[in-house]
Amino acid sequence: MEKSLISLEFCTFTLYIFINKSIIMKNIDCLICLQGLREVNAPNMEPKFNMRVSHNIRQLEEVSTDLEKAREISDEFKTYNDERIALNTKHAEKDDAGNPKKVVVAGPGGQEIENFIIKAVADPKSPYNKEMDRLKEKHKAAIDARDAQVEKYTTLLDEEAEGLKLLKVDEDMIPKGLNRNASNAVYFMTKIDLDDEEETPAKPDKKK
């Protein structure tokens, strides 16, 4: 099963700056924050904190919706992909029940991808590779368009989100018991001054 596009375990938030009550964040960071904020769930949450989290989720969902539209697969590429899967199923190694064998591999962005086990792929002159070459040539326009779309989407993730109006919260509003993902997402909402977190050495007493 495909996991989330963004892995919170290996992502960190980009530096953000508040200007006129707006916040500058990259689109990819918006997706990361949204995942974490959706996991905010703890007993005895203050209404003000809950309201601000809900507001920020709505703001980030607008960004997420736009990004989803930018990566939406065309009908032409769906047709190619269906035919590609059918071809892979046909040539894949089969288990005792006659089902195609698959292996899970790590994909980009923390995805887990299931690949068919096809021994014939190693032979350039195999019937499988010849059929695959013909299939790719048949759908070349759709494949090229999809490659360009993915490249554009990857660039878009690194661009700044526009028009964000996110609300911050005070540290003492944050409830206990949040999981790691939720805590990471809530972190950027706080007004913590990191410099104040460092231990300040005691000043010597002045002599009277």
Torsion on CA atoms 167, 173, 177, 182, rounded to nearest 10: 10
| Structural domain boundaries in the chain | 18-70+160-192, 75-157
Give yes or no for residue 53 having a pLDDT over 80: yes
Return d(Cα 4, Cα 2) in angstroms, integer. Answer: 7
- For 155-175, what is the mean pLDDT? 86
What are the residues facing 115 on neighbouring strands? 103
Look up the pTM and report it. 0.71
pLDDT in tens, 109-132: 667 888 999 999 999 999 999 999
